């Protein structure tokens, strides 16, 4: 959405229409997308609190959104183990962002995991 300027429905459609995914995967993507959007204000406040010496708007789009989704998962998907959430976010950051992003995402989400109820 941030990169292409799409609305949530267009984003979801773009993710799911070009690939054949299981219904379980599609449901999970929908949960992440809708949940992150619905809780964006709260999520951004939490990330801002734990990102040292950076404004949220100064983060790369990829890193910012990995942190948003990871934070949503940490806060709102209690059945998913914390280590799984953080490790997946790190791997996505390594693959789709800079060489330093994995460590950065790890550090921020490691701090945020303490917020999880």
47 contacts: CB under 8 Å, gap ≥ 6: 56, 64, 67, 68, 71, 108, 112
Residue 16 is predicted with a pLDDT of: 76
Domain ranges of the chain: 1-38, 40-115
Q: What is the pLDDT along the chain (117 residues), one digit of tens a residue?
A: 777 788 888 877 877 777 788 889 889 988 999 999 999 999 999 999 999 888 898 999 999 999 999 999 999 999 999 999 999 999 999 999 998 999 999 999 999 998 765
Fold classification of 40-115 (topology level): N-utilizing Substance Protein B Homolog; Chain A (1.10.940)
Distance CA 60, CA 74 (A): 21
Distance CA 104, CA 98 (A): 10
């Amino acid at each position: 959405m941030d990169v292409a300027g799409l609305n949530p429905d267009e984003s979801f459609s773009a993710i799911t229409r070009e690939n054949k995914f299981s219904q379980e995967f599609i449901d999970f993507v929908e949960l992440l997308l809708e949940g992150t959007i619905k809780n964006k204000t709260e999520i951004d406040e939490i990330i801002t609190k734990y990102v040292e010496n950076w404004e949220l708007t100064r983060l790369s789009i990829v890193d910012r959104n990995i942190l948003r989704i990871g934070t949503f998962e940490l806060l709102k998907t209690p059945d998913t183990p914390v280590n799984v959430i953080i490790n997946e976010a790190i791997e996505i950051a390594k693959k789709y962002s800079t060489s330093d992003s994995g460590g950065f995402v790890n550090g921020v989400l490691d701090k945020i995991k303490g917020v999880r109820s």
